[in-house]
Amino acid sequence: MKPPSAFDRSYEDWLSIFEEIGQPSYRAGQICGWLWRRGVTSPSEMTDFSKPLREQLASMFDFTPPVIEDESRSGDGTRKFLMRLPGGAKIETAVLKQGDRVTACLSTQVGCPVSCPFCATGAGGFERDMSRGEIAYQLVVMEKFLGREINSVVFMGMGEPFLNTDATLGAVRILNNPKTRGLGIRHMTISTAGIIPGINALAESGLGVRLAVSLHAADNELRDELVPCNTSYPLDELIPVLHEYQRATGDRITIEYAMFKGKNDSLDHARSLVRLLRGLHSYVNIIPANAVTPRYSRSLPRDILRFQSVLKAAGFESEIRVERGREISAACGQLKRDKAS
């Protein structure tokens, strides 16, 4: 039987492990430093451990990391990676650069079961959930590859984070722990299609991670088409949960709204969105959609600006997302799809 992954162990796990094998507690900090700060994934290179201890650790745990198999770069600094997990499954990750800020877009599932019709990931089907270590260690693999630190994370790569809630929140805790990666909690955002149990779990966790909700429509009929999980978690249930989340956390919620020509980009659609979000402290991120199928094409720039003007007139903060990585098919699932064809 294959040994368990070393990357799935938290700092607290390592404390227990070293206690069980008769080692001092400071060893937990040492191994976390090797794995999460230096990106060293072979016990034989952990030089402050004795040779017998290195051999013991190698026999107890699997230290095989994800591997970057392919890379695409765009002129704006976006870099996209096709990454192979131990066992052979393939996922996509991306790094976006804006000034001095470097953000990693992490996947939480291999494929996605939500199957939004405009998304290349959904078109590729769903294989499995990722473990907390697989999710978190994407960051370290990219940092080592790039030779620089990444200072923020968004869980909005392949998959729906709140259909894999325990592993996603476990990855947050690993990345946030000062003994492992030490990434600030406010430098992490979880993006969901509106999975209510996951939103509730995040509120109850008290972690303080930022929340983004991919809305894309302000009525159930249209959202059923664009975001199929809306049939299970419709807007009349989702919006009250967002209000309750905000009362519990005090946090502003980001609303993601991808715009498609003739589908959800009219002035009436904008007014409906204003009515839906009334009373919610939210920030609307307007996204000129990446067209991955002819059925859903990008809204015209003038229609995007008109849509935003309605939101601003109603007092909502909003921004039109600056598109990055278009020439390298940076939408989730496109690189994996292209390499498989």
Q: Cβ(229)–Cβ(113) under 8 Å?
A: no
197 C-beta neighbours (distance < 10 Å), count: 12
Residues 335 and 266 in one domain: yes
Among 32, 112, 229, 332, the active-site one is 332
DSSP state of 186: G
H-state helical runs in the chain:
11-20, 26-32, 51-60, 120-123, 132-146, 165-176, 196-205, 220-226, 235-249, 267-277, 301-313, 334-340
1 within domain boundaries: no
Residues 12 and 120 in one domain: no
Spatial strand order in the sheet of 152-155:
67-73, 79-84, 90-98, 101-105, 152-155, 188-192, 210-214, 253-259, 282-288, 317-320
Among 92, 134, 143, 256, the active-site one is 92
Q: Cβ(160)–Cβ(194) under 8 Å?
A: no
Question: Is beta strand 188-192 parallel, antiparallel or unpaired with respect to 152-155?
Answer: parallel
170 within domain boundaries: yes
Spell out the residues 6+ positions from residue 179 whose beta carbon is closer than 8 angstroms to its own: 11, 28, 29, 32, 33
Helix (H, G, I), strand (E, B) or coil at 80: strand
Residues 191 and 334 in one domain: yes
| Amino acid letter, 139 | L
Question: What is the CATH classification number for the domain harbouring 46?
Answer: 1.10.150.530
Residues 50 and 144 in one domain: no
Q: Which of 60, 82, 98 is the last residue of a domain?
A: 60
DSSP state of 106: -
Question: Would you call 92 a catalytic residue per the annotation?
Answer: yes
Alpha-carbon distances, residue 251 vs 97, 166, 182, 241 (angstroms) = 25, 21, 22, 13
Task: Report the pLDDT value the prediction gives residue 100, as an integer from 0 to 100.
Answer: 83
Q: Cβ(224)–Cβ(217) under 8 Å?
A: no
Task: Report the pLDDT value the prediction gives residue 146, as an integer from 0 to 100.
Answer: 94
What is the distance of C-alpha 174 from the center of its chain? 15
- How many Å apart are CA 91 and CA 80, to the nearest integer? 11
Q: What is the pLDDT along the chain (341 residues), one digit of tens a residue?
A: 889 999 999 999 999 999 999 999 999 999 999 999 999 999 999 999 999 999 999 999 999 999 999 999 988 889 999 999 999 999 999 999 888 889 999 999 999 999 999 887 777 789 999 999 999 999 999 999 999 999 999 999 999 999 999 999 999 999 999 999 999 999 999 999 999 999 999 999 999 999 999 999 999 999 999 999 999 999 999 999 999 999 999 999 999 999 999 999 999 999 999 999 999 999 999 999 876 777 889 999 999 999 999 999 999 999 998 765 454 454 444 444 444 43
238 within domain boundaries: yes
168 within domain boundaries: yes
Give the pair of three-digit tokens for residue 282.
Answer: 């939210």
Give the pair of three-digit tokens for residue 113.
Answer: 């079961």
Give the pair of three-digit tokens for residue 156.
Answer: 């909005």
27 within domain boundaries: yes
Task: Report the pLDDT value the prediction gives residue 324, as an integer from 0 to 100.
Answer: 54
Question: Would you call 332 a catalytic residue per the annotation?
Answer: yes
Q: Which of 19, 34, 60 is the last residue of a domain?
A: 60
Q: Can you give the residue range of the structural domain that contains 13?
A: 6-60
In the chain, the number of structural domains is: 2
132 within domain boundaries: yes
Helix 165-176 vs helix 132-146: crossing angle, to nearest 10: 50
Residues 162 and 36 in one domain: no
197 within domain boundaries: yes
- Provide DSSP, 115-178: --TT-HHHHT-EEEEPPHHHHHHHHHHHHHHHTS---EEEE-SSS-GGGSHHHHHHHHHHHH-T
Residues 78 and 56 in one domain: no
Q: Which of 30, 45, 60 is the last residue of a domain?
A: 60
Considering only CA atoms, which of 290, 274, 213 is closest in space to residue 246?
Answer: 213
53 within domain boundaries: yes
Residues 91 and 228 in one domain: yes
Residues 13 and 138 in one domain: no
Task: Report the pLDDT value the prediction gives residue 328, as an integer from 0 to 100.
Answer: 41
Residues 274 and 134 in one domain: yes
pTM over 0.85? The answer is yes
Residue reference for tokens 């600056």: 322
Q: Cβ(56)–Cβ(48) under 8 Å?
A: no
Please list the residues that pair with 94 across neighbouring strands.
Answer: 80, 105
Task: Report the pLDDT value the prediction gives residue 341, as an integer from 0 to 100.
Answer: 37
Question: What is the CATH classification number for the domain harbouring 105?
Answer: 3.20.20.70
Residues 257 and 144 in one domain: yes
- How many Å apart are CA 47 and CA 189, to the nearest integer? 35
Residues 46 and 92 in one domain: no
Residues 14 and 148 in one domain: no
Q: Cβ(166)–Cβ(130) under 8 Å?
A: no
Task: Report the pLDDT value the prediction gives residue 94, as an integer from 0 to 100.
Answer: 95
Question: Is beta strand 282-288 parallel, antiparallel or unpaired with respect to 253-259?
Answer: parallel
